[in-house]
Each structure stands twice: as C-alpha cells, then as structure tokens.
Structure 1
Amino acid sequence: MTTEQTLPICIAGQWRLGRGERYASYYPATGEAVAWLNAASLEDVEETVLGAHQAFLHSGWAQRKPHERAGVLYRIAQLIREQSEELAQLQRQDNGKPIGETRNLVASAAGTFQFFAAACETLEETITPSRGDFVTMSVYEPMGVVAAITPWNSPIASEAQKVAPALAAGNAVVIKPAEITPLLALQLARICEEAGLPKGMISVLPGKGSVLGDALTQHPLVKRVSFTGGTRTGKHIAHIAADKMMPVSLELGGKSPTIVLDDADLDHAVAGVLYGIFSSSGEACIAGSRLFVARSLYEPFMQRLCAAAATIRVGNPEDETTQMGPLISAAHRESVERYVALGLSEGGRLRLGGERLRGGDYDKGFFFPPTVFEGLSNDRQVCQEEIFGPVLVAMPFDDETDLVKQANDSIYALAAGIWSRDYKRAWTLGRKIQAGTVWINTYKQFSISTPFGGWRDSGLGREKGRLGILQYMEQKSLYWGMNEQPLAWASEHREVAP
C-alpha cells in the first residue's frame, strides 16, 4: 500500500473517493501515515443508505434460501483465512497491536463468519402449540438496512461479530469503522464482494463518528444499530433509537474486577491477571483493571505480579516476541497519563510504571508501560472510571461479603474474573458478581458460540451465540385457519335484511 494514494471507500457497492476531508491512518508505533483516504460526507451517508435499501429490496439476497446465504458466508471465512497474513499486517499498521495478537483477531473473524454461516442454514422456525382451530407459526425475517458502528481496538473481529449475523439474516449492512482505524473494514467489504455478496449489501463509511454515526442512527431507513464503543456515545445512540422505536445493541465500557481468593493457584492467577489487564495494552473493554486480593495473600501475590509485569516486552508490533505495543494515539496516551496523575493525587502509590517509555524507538510511537497502583479505595475516580490503558489498581479485601459489595460498586458490569481452587466457592461468588461475563481460573477467553454483553452502563443486548442472528431479524407470527365453519361471531350477529 502506498501512503500517497487516496483509498476509495465503499458506497452502496460503488468504490470511489469519499466527499469529505482527506485524512491519514497513522501507525501508532511510529506516528507515520500508512494510508490516506477521504472521509465520507453526509451526502455519502444518504447515498449509501438509499443504495443499501435498494439492494436489500432488489438484489435477491434477502430472498435467498438460508443455505445459499450460508454458502457466501463460508466463502468469506475461507477468503479471510487465505488473506490472513495480509490482513494481520494491515491491522498491525492500523492500530499498532502486536502481530501475534492481530493474527488471532483475523482468525477470530474467519471463525465468526463460519459460525454464523452454520447458524444461518440451521436456523429453525417454529410451529407453536395450537390453542384453537388454527395452526400457528413463528418465523423470522430480515429488517432491511442495519448499521454496524465499530471501535478502533479490535477492528476486524468486532466488524465480523456484527456483519456476519446481519448478512446471515438477510440484511444490508453499513459499517461505520472508527475514524482512526478504517483499513480493515474496507478490506472486509472487498472480501465480501469477492465471495459473492451482491453489490450494495455492504458499505463502509470512514470518518468522524459524531457526524456519520449520528446521521446513520437517525436515518429512517436504518432499522437497527449495533454499536461498540464508549458509554457516553452509546447512551446518545440509545436516545435516538428510542425516538425511532428502533432496536439497538450497545457493547460499552467496563471497569472489570479481578478477584484472587486465598486458595488460588498463584501461577495461574498471576498469568491471568497480567493477561487480563496488560494484553492489548489495556485497550479493551473487558480489561481486568480492578484487582481484589485476599489480604492474607496480598503481599506475596503483588511481589510476584509486579516482578512478572516488569518483564513484559513492550515494543515494536512487528516483532514476534512483543507482548505490548503502543497505545492508539498521542492523545490517548495523554489521557492515560492524566489518570495516573489523578491516582497519585487521590493518594495512590505507584508500585510499577506510571511514566511513558522513552529513548530509541519509544520516542517515535505512543508507548506506555504496565502500571500498577495500590493504596487506593474502590470509591476513588481511578477505580471507578474506565482508563482504557495498561493501568491496574490493586486492593486487598478481608471478607467475601465486603468483596462482593466492592466488586459490584460500579456503574459498569461487563466482566469479572475469579481465581480459586474451590469450584463450588468460585461458582457461588460468580453468581453474586454482577457482570455479563464471569471468567473462573481464566480471563479474556472468548467463544463465538457464547453470548457476550454487559449490564448497566456496560450496554444493552448481546452479540455472539447461535441466536445472535435473531438480533438482526424481526419475528412474525402466522395463523392458518383450520375451522370448517365461518367464525361464529360473524354468523351469530349478522343482521338479516327485511
């Protein structure tokens, strides 16, 4: 890819330059531009939605048999696998994740399309129990045009989780990728078309979310929005959707508790806590950013944890051995630094890290080290607000009643982790913790077959799972009259003319 070339975007099947301002996609490890493109304009949004609506009505995609749509989705999965290294390197350039992680995300995207292809061709409609002289059926139909608004931290995996079930259901999809990471969505659209998806059934509109996301959400022909991102933006979308009476899926922020009980396997717990907060440089909604450790175990556990965290390899995302790459941007690193300063002002003590990495290649990119706070209570801002960076706050606890109260004392309820050798104890605690996902003796493991989402300010609705396809469909009931005689009411009350 040449950085001077301005990339076209996909507007209802037409690949052309956007009408908005020209901007760059930057490599966070060096701050250098890796691609240029023109953002979509509001006129592009209107053209895209109208074109997608026409494709939905007339391309025949919605009318194809489920197994026929599934065949295209299987082909998309195959093409992603065939182009996996190219896609992984492209995502590395787009958002600075280490190459090992981007390979896993690409593999996840392929698996997602394969899973929803299977879900599509095996989805059953239902003949419901009869309650009268009729046969009743429950069927599902596509909605029309749906919008997928995706984040910058794991583009291709997030896009696949929205696009695959939406296409499987028969809808046309408009992807609004994060402004700063547009490249994977564009490539995914090309793959979908190459696999046989009709023109216009997928579109990609790069640019500012506050402009394009608003326009998409408000458009009367957009019948559903699936959004992953910040809670403030998610609530704004929810207000618009309420006025439209439009369903939404909102996967939002988190401030997830990780709990180490006094009987935990320390090797597993240390490894899991490190992975939960420092992989992806902490730029993950499910990051285990609040650590609660049984007081009797606290000091030896923290010694082991911080010693291990100090060895995490932070550096060039191209290097196969790198564990943590840069943060997404200079502005985001400054935000993380402000939270570190806030934690210190609140009385916290830095046990590890806390200052940007300097020297050599570190000066080119937006690097920040693993950082561990202690000495703070759970009611402090850094324990309550999502930092979205590699910052862990550790707190000891004395009894499980107080632990549950603290763990649930958050506006967020997306995920949690529990470390214990006693599975009965972990099960009981896991049922008390308020979260959409609870990991026990592991963390940040995902399965496309298992629903995912949050409670409270962490979101609405669920993605993934076999029935995730139904999120993108309308349910309809059909009644087939089987009565031999006309309806009695009409016969009993019919007036006879004189």
Structure 2
Amino acid sequence: LQTNVQLGRSLANRVPALHRLHWIGGSAVKLEGGAEFVVLQPRSGSVVARCASATRAQIAAAIETARDAQPEWAERTWLARGEVLRKAAQLIREHLEPLAVAECEDNGKPIYEARMDVASCAETFDFYAGVGASLARPHYPLDSSHFVYTRREPIGVVGCVGAWNYPLQTCSWTTAPALAAGNAVVYKPSPLSPLTARLLAEILQEAGLPNGVYNVVQGEGETGAVLVESPRINKVSFIGSIMTGKTIVQACAARSIKHVTLELGDKSSLIILEDADVDSAVAGAMIANFFSQGQVCSNAIKVLVHRSIVDAFTARLVAKTAAMKVGDPLDESTKVGAVISKEHRAKVKAYIDGAVAEGARLLYGGREVTVAGLEGGFYLEPAILTDIREDMTVCKEEIFGSVLLVIPFDEVEEALRMANGTDMGLAVGVFTKNMSKAHKLAARLHAGNIYVNTYNDVSPFVPFGGYGQSGFGRENGLAALEHYTQLKSVFISTDENLQNPFQ
C-alpha cells in the first residue's frame, strides 16, 4: 500500500494491498508473527483482507514510536497543531465519497449513512482545530503578592480501542481531541471494521502530521488488552460494550494508574406522551432504532407509548418500517444494510425468536434476507415486537440490533420508572408538544443525553456520554478535550523574601 493511496479505488480491488493494515511511524507496515484474522465484507460475506495481529513486542514498538514523536508535537502551539487538523478536515471532505464507500464496504451500513458519518468526521477535526486555545486556564489571585495560574498540558500517549459500528466517526471522536491537545495516539480498530481508521492515517500524514504521532495496530481482543495494559500508555479511550469496558478498567489499574474514558452501551427508552405528534413520534422511533442496522449504543429499543395513541402509532410504524428497503448498502435506495457479521446476525435473530417464545408478539420483520448477487451477505429485517413484559430477556439486555419494542403506558410516572429502571444511562428520548413536561422529565431521567422531539443527534460541539454502567468521561465538545489534558497549577509569589515559618 503506497503512502499516497488512491482512495477512490474499490476495496475489492485492493485485497493484496490491504494486507498492510498496520501503520507505524508514518509508514504502512506488514507485521508477521501474530495470529491472523480475516476481514469480511458484510454486504457480500467475502474476504477483503487477511492480517496478522500485532504481537506484544510489535505493540510495544508502536508505543515507543509514539512516545518518541509526541514531545515535538506537543511543543507546537495550539494554533500550529490546529492547522494540521484543519487540513485533515479539508482532505476528508475532498475524499468524502471514496471514504464513504470504504466505510460502507467495511461496515455494511447504507451509503447515505456512511456519507453522513464521513462528513461528521470532517466536522470533528474542524472543531478541534480551532477550539484548543480557548480552553479555560484560570488565574487565581490569592493575596496582594501571591497568585496561581493553570496550564493544560498533554497527557502523553493515548491508547484508543475503536468501535466497529461507527469506525471512522468514533475514530475521529478520540483521535481529533487527543491530537489537538498535543498527545500521540496508538489506535486499535475493531477487527470487524479495521480499514477506514487505517486510511485516516494517510490523510493525517498528507495533512502534515509528523510521523509517529498517529499509529494503527490491528488485532483482536488480545491486541487491545496488551495495548491498554502497557505502563507506557498514559491514557486509554474505549468505545464499545460494557463487559469489555469493565475489563479495560481493571487492566488500566493492574500495572499502572492511567486516565480512562469509556463510552459504553445502554438499554435506552423513548417516551411518547399522549399529546405527541404521531407522525413525528414514528419518525423518532425509527431514527432511535434503525440507523446502522440498529447497531448504535444509544438506541432506544424500549418505545414507551401512551395507551391512548398506541394503536395509531403502531399501525403507522409498521407501515413505514415495511416500506424500507433491505439490500445492498451501496444501492442508493437501500435504507437497511448488512449486519456486521454472520455471528451478530444470529445473535440478534436469537433475541427476536426468544422474545416470541417468551410470549411477545412479532408485528413485523425479524427474518433473514437474501440479496440477489450478494447471497453471502449478512442481512436481517428490522423487527417490531409488542406484548412485552419487563421480565423478558429482550427487555433487559442490550441487543445491538434493529429490534423495537412497543410498550404502552397509562401514567407518565409508569414510563419514567421503566425508562430509569436500568443501571445504564446513555440516552432517553421524549416526544411531546408540552415543553414544560419535557423539561421536567429531562431533569428526572437518569441519562447523559436527553432528546426531546428528536433522537440520536450528535455534534462535535456537544459532550456525549453516559451515566452509570454506560461509562464515564465524555466524547466531543470541550469536555472531551479536557479529558485529553492534565491540569497543572503554578503557584507564584512576588515577594522577594519568603517568610520562614520555622524561625
């Protein structure tokens, strides 16, 4: 794979080149000696790459490369680092279409969604290009001759473990603020969607990022474990499952204490009050469940609908869902693409079948789909279920698929109890025309993100993260940038003679 890759070439035509998925010290590297993993294209089920996982020694070498490069990068001013990030944003926009195709083929999501993700990635780099110098650095006058000023300094080397559902977007969420703050990065993508984080390395290099400041090591769970356990890593950022997040926290404390940001899963709810506009609520429920084949951490699988409108709501929801095309993600008319893997499709299907076995009623979908010409792809219809009990497995566990539960309620307190009845808390939505009710509910709901008459909105300007088991720290906004810095207080005395308290 050449340094200046022709991003417009199809992944299918670049299989041999994609053996070199590691990027260390500013170059594409083909590592050997580690366990091989296979990269499958979800839309077709075909093999697009084979890659050896980075070994412990190779990961250590990548970390040392980052440590060597980081001081010079940190010495640059916020504005100078911002120029590189702004150039990266420009290049991402210039290559939006080929990057979207790569993301689509890597992940299986429809091309229209992939375009939005790539555009969001550019916005994230643009935001962090200009915001760093505005970080608050308070000055504290203590008395007439003593004051304190504070400095925001880089943490050092950040080890990032990426998510497979939004490969490029979540990579930008961690990489852009880390680089803006003067850190170096060693990034490990998911082995299920490892390609676009690797392409980002070439964009950053072309934008002027010094060699070694952004590195990519590939592999499965063991690779991530070695990365986060290393005492030479100063901070870890992880986006993924709660189970893995718990393991990472333990690993980060086992050999050294380090900063950690976790953005984990949820069992979110969408509350639709009796005065809600039904068509808008249907749109909100679909947005809250069907993007990226339901593989979204903040999805509101529990759609709590006031009983007075539940019949009208359900009828329109089923009709709108049935009208969505399940098919080739590269087809412009496709609304539901391919699930990330055959195994994950089987897992989601098992939840649907299990719910029916427990007494739920399947109103629509839940069937595996065969797409002509892509018979090996991993396709599954969205499912809508009703007659749900709170003790059902489907109501308690995170599914991470397009499975929507319609649950009627009579009193708002009942809906509030069900929405808060989880130890997770990433997001909750409310649909109502009564803004007074909306604000009161927003204050009482236990989640890091509350959506009113909308859902699943994100912005690089706005902090995003969860309560409870959904993680800690924040992605996006100034809050995220602060998580990639450490705060130093400098105490100054202007007195020429310091009083000695021991005399």
* Superposition TM-score tier, normalisation by shorter sequence: over 0.9
Does the alignment pair 1:223 with 2:237?
no
Structure 2 counterpart of 1:441, one-letter code = N
The 5 A counterparts of 1:71-82 are 71-82=83-94
Q: Give the corresponding residue for 2:224.
A: 213
Question: Which of 26, 38, 52 lines up with 1:13 in the alignment?
Answer: 26
SS in 1 for 2:309: helix
Deviations, residues 129-163 of structure 1 (Å, cap 9, x unaligned): 32463121011111111111111111110000100
- Report the secondary structure of 1:253's partner residue: coil
Provide the residue aligned with 1:496 in structure 2.
none
Equivalents in 2 of 1:470, 1:112: separation in Å? 15
Distance, in Å, in 2 between the alignment partners of 1:434 and 1:345 is: 31
Is this contact kept in 2: 1:98–1:323, CA < 8 A? Answer: yes
Over the aligned positions, Cα root-mean-square deviation in angstroms equals 1.4
| Partner AA of 1:388 in structure 2 | F
Partners in 2 of 1:45 and 1:65 — Cα distance? Answer: 29
Q: Which moved more, 1:241-250 or 1:429-438?
A: 241-250
Amino acid at match of 1:234: G
Q: Is the counterpart of residue 236 in structure 1 residue 247 in structure 2?
A: yes
Match of 1:68 among 68, 75, 80: 80
The letter for the 1-side match of 2:289 is I
2:59 is the alignment partner of 1:48: no
State the TM-score, normalized to the length of structure 2. 0.94
The farther-off stretch of 359-368 and 480-489 is 359-368
Name the CA distance, whole Å, in 2 between partners of 1:338 and 1:34.
28
1:232–1:8 distance in 2 versus 1, CA, 3 Å: closer
Query: Which residue in 1 is equivalent to 2:268?
Result: 256
Alpha-carbon separation, structure 1, partners of 2:391 and 2:441: 21
Closer, same or farther: CA 141–346 of 1 in aligned 2, 3 Å: same
Structure 1 contact 7–36 (Cα < 8 Å) conserved: no
Q: AA paired with 2:293?
A: S
* Structure 1 residues 8 and 278: alpha-carbon distance in aligned structure 2, compared to 1, 3 A threshold: closer
Counterpart check, 1:247 vs 2:259: yes
User: How many Å separate the matches in 1 of 2:295 and 2:168?
Assistant: 15
- Percentage of matched positions with identical amino acids: 37
Please tell me whether the aligned partners of residues 128 and 136 of structure 1 are also in contact (alpha carbons under 8 angstroms): yes
The DSSP-based 3-state class of the residue aligned with 2:235 is strand
Match of 2:95 in 1: 83
Please report how far the alpha carbon of residue 8 of structure 1 lies from its aligned counterpart in structure 2 after TM superposition: 4.4
Bigger Rg, which one:
1
User: Could you tell me how far 1:430 is from its partner in structure 2?
Assistant: 1.7
User: Is this contact kept in 2: 1:175–1:205, CA < 8 A?
Assistant: yes
1:303 offset after TM fit, Å?
0.9
Structure 1 contact 418–441 (Cα < 8 Å) conserved: yes
Runs of 4+ in structure 1 deviating by more than 6 angstroms, as ranges, are none
Instruction: Confirm or deny: 8 A CA contact 2:269 2:304 kept in the other structure.
Output: yes
Runs (5+) with no aligned partner, structure 1: 494-498
SS of 2:369's equivalent in the other structure is coil
Name 2:44's counterpart in structure 1: 30
Q: 1:360 to 1:144 in 2, by over 3 A?
A: same
**Which of 142, 159, 166 matches 1:147?**
159
Question: What secondary structure is seen at the aligned counterpart in 2 of 1:366?
Answer: strand
What is the CA-CA distance between 1:361 and the residue it aligns to? Answer: 4.5
Does residue 322 in structure 1 map to residue 312 in structure 2? no
| Bigger Cα displacement from structure 2, 169-178 vs 356-365 | 356-365
C-alpha distance in structure 1 between counterparts of 2:383 and 2:478, whole Å: 38
Give yes or no for the alignment of 1:396 onto 2:408. Answer: yes
Whole-angstrom CA distance in 2 between matches of 1:201 and 1:274: 40
- TM-score for the superposition, normalised by structure 1: 0.95
Shift of 1:362: 6.3
Q: Map 1:352-431 onto structure 2 (within 5 A).
A: 352-358=364-370, 360-361=372-373, 363-431=375-443
